[in-house]
Chains A and B, each alone.
Chain A
């Protein structure tokens, strides 16, 4: 703890000697008196001595403490380093996330206030003293707005004034790491000032951001294959978890396991006060469509999207705000091409919130593809945008959700034909099972083609969306190479274990081309008893079958399988012992660990097999890249690079629909980026909640400042509050001293009055 006026403190502490001096002087005032009635003096003294001595000691302590407290209060104490003059580095971290775009009743965004506060902070710097400033965006992150501390305040002001809000959630841990590093490099006294309104959305978890940048290179399809828009669930936001501390990577700056920030933080950390005004906001939190690939013959039920809307903006503490009244609005859906052109007229449906209702859902038909160009698949974004009365939707970007859809007239599937004659004439060849399962139906226009195991090459695979392989052991090394290329270009591969005894050497060739098969065993294992089959955690990959999966799988029995270590989240079907039966090893790779043989399983003969294969086929249109991303969360660099320390070189921070490009700059399809709706939670938070979220380990020293600013810098403001607290303590001590003194003096004064009278 430091003080602004050490001289006053020293003078005040020196004044502690005054009561002690008075005490000593009083001791000298004793005078000798000859007295007759000593027996009564002795009796009275014996009674009063102990109490009087205790009172004297308490009085002395109280008076000394009172002076010390007053001295401390007048000296304006504060926690942190000296704020006196001298070279100083100011590192500003601005909340430029989606929450900062919330517009108030005056039509002014919260970010505008942040920028003003930042400019005001810069205005306090002293160029002559060698002060410098660096600026980082908590959402835009690296490389930073002014990444290197500079004394060119004009340039810094210009950079700040040019800041626009992103559509992502701020990543304060990463931003503060950048700020810490920038401050540490200067070697002078430094201060990190975080300017944010600290609404609930600003502290939404961002834990998966760093890993997403490197792992989103898969082509085509939604991020999780669930048929949803790929939006992160707002329910994951810590602020919606009730009164508990927000969780996620955006929390816990102070925890050593997360960032180690507290241990390395040498700069003062100053946070602007949380916003206190409630700003109502509507957001589309989820768009669910049965299938992300729509075929030309799909019926109306397959073309119906379910849209979930919620409203936020109440105080996280009090629960009061704008969410109480009834509210009505409209949702309009349309199709937008990769160039941003609306290619299908919108369809509008109304929605309404009853009083006290926070979430509502509406269903809307997906508009038909405007033009059909033969078998050529097309990618579009289904754009759902809501409109609501003024004052009920402070953030616009989370009111529109873009869902990447693929339109196709049919699916081209290939089946690798088994070579030779089966040893058992009565048995059905595995490829025959596949032919039967992938036979075109009215709802699934599949065009089936058989390929010879030796004839699998790049030419043969052209035009195929799916290749199902029942006897992978028959493929040559060259075929595996071509298959790998096919998969990487977006083709879908469905593998079955071959019906062979002993070791399965083909697994090595498969692993060379399809690395996602890692974990697949090379040896088949006979089960001691047949196992039943149950849906796994990855069952959501086939949403249409999801509700029927358990019933259909209940009749399946497995006698033999290849072992596989797989992520539980990717296991679509498993035995009742938990052994994977069907795994989505990669976005475009499906693996059955059993063979299409009665010796292995009765799966091909059960009712599950046909719809299962057909749904898998519907996930695999040929090389259509149509992805739905979340701003910030799924951002990646143009070159697929990610910076160190998990801070991605981000793009895609703004919600949009655009063409995705490969590393050579060629268009590869459509990329629909949505705002991170978790950041749309405009509920206000208290300082305590913010501190709990940021300082989970409790090791960071945080000071608070006022964004509205009265001209004082952060330290005096903190010092004033601390000083007021000390003043309050001094008042209490003074009251205590008065009580003791009154108790001590009153009988004396009364006695003197009596003596005088």
Chain B
């Protein structure tokens, strides 16, 4: 396995398809040393063995280079005779097949939500960035869901690239606003970081349209990582999940949530102004807190249910948590699943 590409902090403007002027790129904002220290010990494994371009299009996913012996199993009629272990037959006069374990290439596509609702955050930027920066490049003092989403996307991309797997990126709002084709080449990481540096826009999410646009560009089965707050109609989300499953892709859903957003931690009487152009609402947070949190939790539960129903993983990521713990727990869970599915 090739050594992982070293993240290169950059302050140069992003070059790429971003519709919004990029801000200064600083990978350390996304790959905080604590985060990387946690992730170092894990390997990202796909839940499903994705057919990689390096392994060819054969019937056995184990056919190709760098196969590792896994175990023997008794022969059954119909098995390929090429895998018979003749040495064992010579010693024991019994037919056994040799089974192998193969690391296949992984195509990863990160889809990062850049809609208006992602531009919400209550955590102090200085605390969340981990490098002591008081404000963001554009002057914000809050760590938004989009900040957290880009950090997560960068981390996943980085780890994937370290395994020489191909990584692609899509940034979307009402439609795909930027896309980076899958690649494992050097420089991909930089492109990704620069693309992620774009501002969220004042749009509503049209997940159905975005999924259609992404799926139209995927020729192989991929692992799609959807990073979004998913504050949209659950039925639309369900339809998107269904299309992804129908095309044979795997999906990991990271639902971004701000802690204050989830608990409605406001004391004063407020006028809620929507980030995606919704009508303002005047309310006493104390009055509506119970109903609000109930609706919020019900929405998350619904998303989780829909994802689980299609065999996808779903994880709620709070902007007030370090990326490490939820990501590490997620990868560990994935690795356990992979260990089971790796046995042919």
Taking a contact as CB atoms under 8 Å apart, the answer to whether B229 and A31 are in contact is no
Taking a contact as CB atoms under 8 Å apart, the answer to whether A44 and B295 are in contact is yes
Taking a contact as CB atoms under 8 Å apart, the answer to whether A748 and B286 are in contact is yes
Taking a contact as CB atoms under 8 Å apart, the answer to whether B231 and A36 are in contact is yes
Bound CA span A30–B299, Å: 28
Chain A, 27-60, CB within 8 A of any chain B CB: 29-45, 47-49, 52
Q: Tell whether B336 is near chain A: CB-to-CB under 8 Å.
A: no
Nearest-neighbour CB distance to chain A for B209, whole angstroms, equals 19
Chain B, 272-331, CB within 8 A of any chain A CB: 272-276, 278-292, 295-296, 299
Q: Tell whether A373 is near chain B: CB-to-CB under 8 Å.
A: no
Taking a contact as CB atoms under 8 Å apart, the answer to whether B296 and A748 are in contact is no
User: Which segment, of B3-11, B75-83, B148-156, B259-267, faces chain A?
Assistant: B259-267
Q: Tell whether A755 is near chain B: CB-to-CB under 8 Å.
A: yes
Interface SS of chain B: helix, strand, loop or mixed?
Answer: mixed
Q: Which of A32, A40, A44 contacts B270 (CB 8 A)?
A: A32
**Smallest Cβ-Cβ distance to A744: which chain B residue:** B287
Taking a contact as CB atoms under 8 Å apart, the answer to whether B270 and A42 are in contact is no
Bound CA span A173–B166, Å: 114
Taking a contact as CB atoms under 8 Å apart, the answer to whether B117 and A45 are in contact is no
Bound CA span A43–B183, Å: 44
Nearest-neighbour CB distance to chain B for A31, whole angstroms, equals 6
Taking a contact as CB atoms under 8 Å apart, the answer to whether B282 and A30 are in contact is yes
Q: Which of A33, A37, A43 contacts B117 (CB 8 A)?
A: A37
Q: Tell whether A665 is near chain B: CB-to-CB under 8 Å.
A: no
Q: Tell whether B20 is near chain A: CB-to-CB under 8 Å.
A: no
Q: Tell whether B62 is near chain A: CB-to-CB under 8 Å.
A: no
Residue of B229, B273, B283, B286 most packed against chain A (CB within 10 A) = B286
Q: Tell whether A747 is near chain B: CB-to-CB under 8 Å.
A: yes
Q: Which of A31, A36, A754 contacts B120 (CB 8 A)?
A: A36
Taking a contact as CB atoms under 8 Å apart, the answer to whether A52 and B284 are in contact is yes
Taking a contact as CB atoms under 8 Å apart, the answer to whether B263 and A31 are in contact is no
In the assembled complex, which residues on chain B have CB atoms less than 8 Å from the CB atom of A31?
Answer: 268-271
Q: A43-B295, A748-B284 are in contact. Are A36 and B289 (CB under 8 A)?
A: no
Nearest-neighbour CB distance to chain A for B12, whole angstroms, equals 30
Bound CA span A54–B258, Å: 32
Q: Tell whether A162 is near chain B: CB-to-CB under 8 Å.
A: no
Q: Tell whether B145 is near chain A: CB-to-CB under 8 Å.
A: yes
Q: Tell whether A390 is near chain B: CB-to-CB under 8 Å.
A: no
Bound CA span A36–B204, Å: 11
In the assembled complex, which residues on chain A have CB atoms less than 8 Å from the CB atom of B275?
Answer: 34-36, 38
Nearest-neighbour CB distance to chain A for B277, whole angstroms, equals 9
Taking a contact as CB atoms under 8 Å apart, the answer to whether B263 and A755 are in contact is yes
In the assembled complex, which residues on chain A have CB atoms less than 8 Å from the CB atom of B265?
Answer: 755
Bound CA span A29–B282, Å: 11
Chain B, 53-100, CB within 8 A of any chain A CB: none
Q: Tell whether A751 is near chain B: CB-to-CB under 8 Å.
A: yes
Taking a contact as CB atoms under 8 Å apart, the answer to whether A40 and B273 are in contact is no
Taking a contact as CB atoms under 8 Å apart, the answer to whether B273 and A35 are in contact is yes
Nearest-neighbour CB distance to chain A for B117, whole angstroms, equals 4
Bound CA span A40–B296, Å: 6
Taking a contact as CB atoms under 8 Å apart, the answer to whether B117 and A30 are in contact is no
Chain A, 157-179, CB within 8 A of any chain B CB: none
In the assembled complex, which residues on chain A have CB atoms less than 8 Å from the CB atom of B279?
Answer: 42
**Smallest Cβ-Cβ distance to A42: which chain B residue:** B281
Taking a contact as CB atoms under 8 Å apart, the answer to whether B281 and A33 are in contact is no
**Smallest Cβ-Cβ distance to B117: which chain A residue:** A36
Bound CA span A303–B123, Å: 118
Q: A40-B296, A45-B281 are in contact. Are A33 and B288 (CB under 8 A)?
A: no
Bound CA span A749–B289, Å: 11
Taking a contact as CB atoms under 8 Å apart, the answer to whether A29 and B268 are in contact is yes
Against B, the Cβ 8 Å flags (1 = close, 0 = not) of A612-654 are 0000000000000000000000000000000000000000000
**Smallest Cβ-Cβ distance to A49: which chain B residue:** B283
Nearest-neighbour CB distance to chain A for B319, whole angstroms, equals 11
In the assembled complex, which residues on chain B have CB atoms less than 8 Å from the CB atom of A44?
Answer: 283, 288-292, 295
Taking a contact as CB atoms under 8 Å apart, the answer to whether A48 and B288 are in contact is yes
Against A, the Cβ 8 Å flags (1 = close, 0 = not) of B36-66 are 0000000000000000000000000000000
In the assembled complex, which residues on chain A have CB atoms less than 8 Å from the CB atom of B296?
Answer: 37, 40
**Smallest Cβ-Cβ distance to B257: which chain A residue:** A37
Chain A, 481-531, CB within 8 A of any chain B CB: none
Taking a contact as CB atoms under 8 Å apart, the answer to whether B274 and A751 are in contact is no
Taking a contact as CB atoms under 8 Å apart, the answer to whether A40 and B272 are in contact is no
Q: A37-B231, A41-B281, A48-B288 are in contact. Are A32 and B295 (CB under 8 A)?
A: no
Taking a contact as CB atoms under 8 Å apart, the answer to whether A747 and B272 are in contact is no
In the assembled complex, which residues on chain B have CB atoms less than 8 Å from the CB atom of A577?
Answer: none
Nearest-neighbour CB distance to chain B for A160, whole angstroms, equals 69
Taking a contact as CB atoms under 8 Å apart, the answer to whether A26 and B117 are in contact is no
Q: A41-B288, A751-B290, A754-B263 are in contact. Are A36 and B269 (CB under 8 A)?
A: no
Bound CA span A48–B284, Å: 10
Bound CA span A755–B120, Å: 19
Residue of A31, A33, A37 most packed against chain B (CB within 10 A) = A37
Bound CA span A48–B294, Å: 13
In the assembled complex, which residues on chain A have CB atoms less than 8 Å from the CB atom of B258?
Answer: 36
Bound CA span A468–B272, Å: 116
In the assembled complex, which residues on chain B have CB atoms less than 8 Å from the CB atom of A754?
Answer: 263
Bound CA span A659–B255, Å: 120
Bound CA span A752–B263, Å: 10
**Smallest Cβ-Cβ distance to B233: which chain A residue:** A39
**Smallest Cβ-Cβ distance to A27: which chain B residue:** B269
**Smallest Cβ-Cβ distance to A39: which chain B residue:** B231
In the assembled complex, which residues on chain A have CB atoms less than 8 Å from the CB atom of B286?
Answer: 747-749, 751-752
**Smallest Cβ-Cβ distance to A749: which chain B residue:** B286
In the assembled complex, which residues on chain A have CB atoms less than 8 Å from the CB atom of B231?
Answer: 36-37, 39
In the assembled complex, which residues on chain B have CB atoms less than 8 Å from the CB atom of A47?
Answer: 288, 291
Q: Which of B261, B263, B281 contacts A36 (CB 8 A)?
A: B261
In the assembled complex, which residues on chain B have CB atoms less than 8 Å from the CB atom of A747?
Answer: 286-287, 289-290
Taking a contact as CB atoms under 8 Å apart, the answer to whether B292 and A38 are in contact is no
Bound CA span A500–B68, Å: 163
In the assembled complex, which residues on chain B have CB atoms less than 8 Å from the CB atom of A748?
Answer: 284, 286-287, 289
Taking a contact as CB atoms under 8 Å apart, the answer to whether A48 and B287 are in contact is yes
Against A, the Cβ 8 Å flags (1 = close, 0 = not) of B100-122 are 00000000000000001111100
In the assembled complex, which residues on chain B have CB atoms less than 8 Å from the CB atom of A42?
Answer: 278-279, 281
Nearest-neighbour CB distance to chain B for A710, whole angstroms, equals 51
In the assembled complex, which residues on chain A have CB atoms less than 8 Å from the CB atom of B120?
Answer: 34-36
Bound CA span A30–B268, Å: 7
Q: A29-B269, A31-B268, A31-B270 are in contact. Are A38 and B287 (CB under 8 A)?
A: no
In the assembled complex, which residues on chain A have CB atoms less than 8 Å from the CB atom of B285?
Answer: 751
Against B, the Cβ 8 Å flags (1 = close, 0 = not) of A18-32 are 000000001001111
Bound CA span A752–B284, Å: 12
In the assembled complex, which residues on chain B have CB atoms less than 8 Å from the CB atom of A36?
Answer: 116-120, 145, 229, 231, 258, 261, 274-276
In the assembled complex, which residues on chain A have CB atoms less than 8 Å from the CB atom of B299?
Answer: 40
Taking a contact as CB atoms under 8 Å apart, the answer to whether B270 and A30 are in contact is yes
Residue of A34, A44, A47, A52 most packed against chain B (CB within 10 A) = A44
Nearest-neighbour CB distance to chain B for A47, whole angstroms, equals 5
**Smallest Cβ-Cβ distance to A747: which chain B residue:** B290
Taking a contact as CB atoms under 8 Å apart, the answer to whether A33 and B269 are in contact is no
In the assembled complex, which residues on chain B have CB atoms less than 8 Å from the CB atom of A43?
Answer: 291-292, 295
Chain A, 429-486, CB within 8 A of any chain B CB: none
In the assembled complex, which residues on chain B have CB atoms less than 8 Å from the CB atom of A39?
Answer: 231, 278, 295
In the assembled complex, which residues on chain A have CB atoms less than 8 Å from the CB atom of B292?
Answer: 37, 40-41, 43-44
Taking a contact as CB atoms under 8 Å apart, the answer to whether B289 and A38 are in contact is no
6 chain-A/chain-B pairs, Cβ below 8 angstroms: A31-B271, A37-B231, A40-B299, A43-B292, A47-B288, A748-B284
A interface residue numbers (CB < 8 A to B): 26, 29-45, 47-49, 52, 747-749, 751-752, 754-755
* Other contacts beyond A44-B283, A45-B281, A747-B290: 15, CB < 8 A: A29-B269, A30-B282, A31-B271, A33-B270, A33-B272, A36-B117, A36-B119, A36-B261, A37-B292, A38-B275, A42-B278, A43-B295, A44-B290, A752-B286, A755-B265
A-B pairs with lowest CB-CB distance, top 9: A748-B286, A44-B291, A44-B288, A36-B120, A36-B117, A44-B292, A38-B274, A38-B278, A755-B265
